[in-house]
Structure 1
């Protein structure tokens, strides 16, 4: 069974205030066994905290973030390849992950192919070091160019680059997540376990439309914004079917993630997600 963990993006404010070591202790108290490091600066101090936290609390470092060019919070492989490998070795991390391709790479088939081609040499070099580079999707990865999804282009042009599948974004992109997992079986190594709900239509918006205080265009903007990120088990995703399918597709880690908690304490949201997953056998 894949290891269950947390995408630490949810606790980045706590990391900034309390430090990575203390946050790893809190993660372990939530009955989670692994973390993915994202949206924090990979300083030497933070890497030391990851090493200490793994040793003291038994929390695996499932993955750390990377990019090709400098500019993000992860390791920039163009300039920090050796440092990324060293940090992965020290922390026992077998996966690096690219959180998103550049926006200009999403605009055409040729642009996507060029980006994937630029990534492939780094993914192949990392594989030689026992590290798998994965690409994290959003809904845009269901864009089709000449009948070929961005997912397909990446697999064709960069075969050494595998996937971190965000099932919420697959759903939002219009492909059934079960179909996606079956289509790319063997390439899906990391899974973001993130639910998808539709919020109630605000009474205020309905009242304003009826009173002609809001025009239809403005109302429709509210209507389209009802899609939300949700605690696992609090949305419409079929987790009892999805998680076994993800395991069959090659998943080694299931990582709880919720991009927005809508004013709630992230710890409470994580705890609810963990309780639900426990209730279905994870």
Structure 2
């Protein structure tokens, strides 16, 4: 069974306030076994805290974030390749992940191919060092150019780059997550476990309907999608998680991009309790 972890972007404020080590203590108290590090500065101190957290609490580092050029999220592979490999060795992480391709790569097939081609040498070189580079999708990765999805282009041009599949974003992109997992079996190593909820229609928008033009009103109607705690949306987790495991997943990572004012710890706990209830 894949290891259950947490995407730490949910606790980045806490990391910045009290350090990674104390956050890992909280993660252990939530009965979560691994973390993925994102949206925090990868200082030597933070990396050392990941090592201490594994030794003291048994919380492993599932993955850390990377980009190709400086200015992205995590290690910049063009300038920090050796440091990224060293951090993986120290923490025991076997995965680095790219959170998103540049917006410019989403505009045409040629732009997407060029970006994927620029990533492939880094992914292949990391693989030689025992580290797998994965690409995290959003809904835009279901864009089609000449009938070929961005997912397909990335696999064709950068075969050494595997996937971190965010099932919520696959759903939002209009592809059935079960179909995606089947189509890319073998490439799906990390899975973001995040639910998809449709929020109630806002009463204040209804109250203002007479004052709004139709396009503004319809925008409110079509923009009811939310990120949700696992088990609090419409995703079929009892079917999805076994399918993800069959597709090659090694980590299931709880994530919720927005908690809509709720304490993220409460949201994580709720997701964890639901996953326990279905056997994870």
TM-score (norm 1): 0.99
8 Å Cα contact 1:6/1:36 also seen in 2: yes
**Superposed, which structure 2 residues align to 1:1-282 within 5 Å?**
1-209=1-209, 212-282=210-280
For residues 114 and 172 of structure 2, what CA distance do their matches in structure 1 show? 26
1:240-281 Cα distance to aligned partner (Å, 9 max, x none):
000000000000000000000000000000000000000000
For residues 242 and 172 of structure 2, what CA distance do their matches in structure 1 show? 21
For residues 84 and 19 of structure 1, what CA distance do their matches in structure 2 show? 20
Per-residue deviation, 1:108: 0.4
1:18-77 Cα distance to aligned partner (Å, 9 max, x none):
100000000000000000000000011111111111110000100000000000230000
For residues 68 and 203 of structure 1, what CA distance do their matches in structure 2 show? 45
Per-residue deviation, 1:4: 0.1
Per-residue deviation, 1:219: 1.0
Per-residue deviation, 1:187: 0.2
Per-residue deviation, 1:218: 1.2
Q: What secondary structure sits across from 2:253 in the alignment?
A: strand
Per-residue deviation, 1:225: 1.6
For residues 85 and 278 of structure 2, what CA distance do their matches in structure 1 show? 36
Per-residue deviation, 1:201: 0.2
For residues 37 and 153 of structure 2, what CA distance do their matches in structure 1 show? 27
For residues 279 and 262 of structure 2, what CA distance do their matches in structure 1 show? 26
For residues 181 and 77 of structure 1, what CA distance do their matches in structure 2 show? 28
Q: CA RMSD in A?
A: 0.5
8 Å Cα contact 1:42/1:73 also seen in 2: no
TM-score (norm 2): 0.99
The count of aligned residue pairs is: 280
Q: What secondary structure sits across from 1:135 in the alignment?
A: strand
